[in-house]
Amino acid sequence: MEITLGMVEYKDIIDAINKAYNIDFSNYALTSLKRRFEIVIKKYSFSDYEEFIKKIVTDKKFLEILLYEISIPYTEMFRDPELWLVIKKSIIPIIRKKEKYRIWLPECTTGDELYTLLIVLKESDLLNKVEVIVNNLSIKNINRIKQAYINLKKMEINAANYQRFDGNYRFSEYYYLFDKQVQLKEYLFDNVIFKQNHIIDDELNDLSVDIVLFRNRLLSLNPQLQKYVVDMFHRKLKSGGFLIIGVKEHIDLNTHYKKFTVFNKSEKVYKKTY
């Protein structure tokens, strides 16, 4: 059934999830999350939002489905080829000089960013040297990312973007072709570590990384939580490390984040200064 949630109903759902599972969505961007809830209510044929809430709090398996459904995995490989070119030309040479390097994709909801990164590393012969850490709340989503199946229609967009990136090889080098989909080759994932947890979990406390790749993920958070996570990224980044966000996302260098400088303005690459 098609339901448009009012503010009270929306807040009730958020409160219920928080109470039952201690996962706090209250500082997520409203329109987007509300719409995700409405889509799930329709897709799983709930008659009203109260029934939806009841299902969430009484059925942990359904919570997992919900977390998967709201995590919005709709981007593409090599989105903004210009950014990947900046990484290739300006950041890869820095990685080359390091003994070890670690890149973190917090709350990674789509495989596309990860796959692109792995291909860029492969083309620079750095796959073995760089450890990539991926975390997500939804185990279903993690498994989907690990399996790395991509349908052919989406591959057309990915391949067009790869062309714009001007990659070194034929794109088809990186996958096995099946009937209606492709699967990325396993070797790409040898140095990837998957963790199931929330972005603000304590378990990630000791993590220290060289790059945080968090493109188009700030979009789903409101300004208060955006500031919180950017502060956290700053703590986890090593000095000289990079924070990369989406081209239409923003961190306010004047008031909140004096600890970063602009490394590339148009592609939103920031460097931790201290």
Partner 1 sequence: MNNKYIIIGGSAGSFQAVTSILSSLPKTYKNPIFLCLHRLKHVRSGFVEALSIKSKLPVVEPRDKEHIKQGYIYLAPANYHMYIELGNYVSLSIEESVNHSRPSIDLSFFSAAYSLKSKLIGIVLSGANKDGAEGLRRIKDAGGTAIVQDPEECQVKTMTTAAIKSTKVDHIFNTKQIIEYLLKLHNY
Question: Residues 3, 16, 65, 72: which binds partner 1 (CB under 8 A)?
Answer: 72
Q: Cβ(31)–Cβ(42) under 8 Å?
A: no
In the bound state with partner 1, the residue whose beta carbon lies nearer, of 239 and 254, is 254
Among 11, 19, 26, 30, binds partner 1 (CB under 8 A): 30
In the complex with partner 1, the residue whose CB is nearer, 75 or 197, is 75
CB of 70 to partner 1, least distance (A): 10
**Residues of span 164-223 touching partner 1 by CB under 8 A:** 164, 216, 218-220, 222-223
Shortest reach from residue 62's CB to partner 1, in Å? 21
Query: In which element (H, E) is residue 181 found?
Result: strand 181-184
- Locate all alpha helices (DSSP H) within 59-182, ordered by sequence: 60-69, 81-86, 92-97, 111-123, 139-147, 152-165
What is the 3 state secondary structure string of 197-238?
CCCCCHHHCCCCEEEEEECCCHHHECHHHHHHHHHHHHHHEE
Of residues 76, 132, 135, the one with CA closest to residue 106? 135
Contact residue for partner 1 among 1, 22, 31, 61 (CB under 8 A): 31
Stretch that binds partner 1, among 53-61, 134-142, 158-166, 229-237 (CB under 8 A): 158-166
3-class DSSP state for residue 104? Answer: strand
- Residues 219-251: b if buried by 16+ CB within 10 A, e if exposed: ebbeeebbbebbebbbebbeeebbbbbbeebeb
Closest approach, Cβ 216 to partner 1, in A, equals: 5
Give residues with Cβ within 8 angstroms of 210, minimum separation 6.
Answer: 95, 98, 101, 102, 103, 237, 238, 241, 242
**Residues found in the chain:** 274
Cβ distance to partner 1 smaller for residue 29 or 57: 29
**Could you tell me the smallest distance in angstroms from the CB atom of residue 130 to partner 1?**
25
Pairing of strands 237-245, 130-136: unpaired
Tell which one of 16, 29, 94, 159 touches partner 1 (CB under 8 A): 29
DSSP state of 89: I
Tokens 């591959």 correspond to what residue? Answer: 155
Binding letters toward partner 1, positions 240-259, x by CB under 8 A: ------xxxxx---------
Number of residues forming the site for partner 1 (CB under 8 A): 29
- The CB-of-48 to partner 1 minimum distance in angstroms stands at 19
27 binds partner 1 (CB under 8 A): no
Q: Which is nearer to partner 1, 109 or 135 (CB)?
A: 109
Query: Which region, judged by CB under 8 A, interacts with partner 1, from 24-32, 96-104, 123-131, 167-175?
Result: 24-32
Query: Binding residues for partner 1, per CB under 8 A?
Result: 4, 29-32, 35-36, 72, 74-75, 79-80, 82, 157, 160-161, 164, 216, 218-220, 222-223, 226, 246-250
